[in-house]
Amino acid sequence: MAARKLLTIAIAGNPNCGKTALFNALTGARQHVGNWPGVTVEKKEGYFELGDRQIRLVDLPGTYALFANAEDERAAVDYLLSREASLIINIVDATNLERNLFLTSQLADMKIPMVIAVNMMDIAENRGIQLDLDELSDFYGVPCIPLSAVSEKSVTNFISQMGHVLASPMPLPKQIAYADKVEEAVKVLEPKVAPVAKLLATDARWVSLMYLGNEKSYADKFAEAGVMRISLPKRA
């Protein structure tokens, strides 16, 4: 029998949104726990089979943002930049969607294929919260799958939806167009941060957005690339 192709998928999401519940439901007992390199944050990896694939699932630290200056955020961003994961499952909490979408947008900016798992749907339904998942899917340009990670039936449906995702071209998020003043700043920053982008093996737009969000992001890599504090022209 042919060996199954290995595919690595990372689970990313805010704290307490159900990452571990989904991770456990998918991998069962086939997991092991270690540490992210250089930090005390726990790293969980597990395996499961989906169609003709062997999936390695990596549970990223739960974070509200990806600015890479806190230990847990840095572990998550470093891992995603390594491109070991070919796909991200971004879990969002259906009862707290807006707050969760900040991280979703930052993940989309990384231009890694992604699906959005809209979790806690059972609670959202009980509370009468109505969500337009088609609109969400259109905005990010990736599939949005409803989920209750604690329900076996819902997890079975999720696995079947993931089977469809993997049978199609990988869903790359659309580029988000930010407000004019952000886009203008990105244009100024892109050439200046190019050496940092090269060092991180990523694109200058992403480094620019990260720098705009938090000037301390990857301060060590900015220093290593010889890029000093950048001053942006004042807007009229």
Ligand X SMILES: Nc1nc2c(ncn2[C@@H]2O[C@H](COP(=O)(O)OP(=O)(O)OP(=O)(O)O)[C@@H](O)[C@H]2O)c(=O)[nH]1
What is the closest distance, in whole angstroms, from the C-beta atom of residue 91 to ligand X in the complex? 7
Which of 93, 133, 146, 140 minimizes the C-alpha distance to 112?
140
Site track for ligand X across 24-63, x = CB under 6 A: --------------------------------------x-
- Per DSSP bridges, beta strands 5-13 and 53-59 are parallel
Helices (H) and strands (E) in the chain, counts: 9, 7
Q: Using a CB cutoff of 8 Å and minimum separation of 24, what contacts does 38-45 make?
A: 39/71, 39/72, 39/74, 39/75, 40/71, 41/71, 41/72, 41/75, 43/75, 44/20
How much of the chain is helix, strand and coil, in % rounded to 5?
A: 45, 20, 40
Site track for ligand X across 137-176, x = CB under 6 A: -----------xxx--------------------------
CA 71 to chain centre: 16
Residue 191 touches which member of ligand X, Mg ion, none, C-beta under 5-8 Å by kind: none
Enumerate binding residues for Mg ion (CB under 5 A). Answer: 19-20
Among 9, 10, 18, 173, binds ligand X (CB under 6 A): 18
Q: Which amino acid is at 79?
A: Y
Q: Is 129 in the site for ligand X (CB under 6 A)?
A: no
Among 9, 10, 12, 19, binds ligand X (CB under 6 A): 19
Stretch that binds ligand X, among 18-26, 49-57, 110-118, 168-176 (CB under 6 A): 18-26
What is the closest distance, in whole angstroms, from the C-beta atom of residue 54 to ligand X in the complex? 23
Is 79 in contact with 34 (CB distance < 8 Å)? no
* Distance, CA of 29 to CA of 40 (rounded, Å): 23
Q: How many residues bind ligand X (CB under 6 A)?
A: 16
What is the closest distance, in whole angstroms, from the C-beta atom of residue 91 to Mg ion in the complex? 10
Find the residue with minimal CB distance to ligand X.
62
Residues contacting residue 131 through CB under 8 Å, at least 6 positions apart: 94, 97, 118, 124
What is the closest distance, in whole angstroms, from the C-beta atom of residue 21 to ligand X in the complex? 3
Give 143 or 211: the residue with its C-beta nearer to ligand X.
143
Binding region for ligand X (CB under 6 A): 13, 15-21, 62, 119-120, 122-123, 148-150
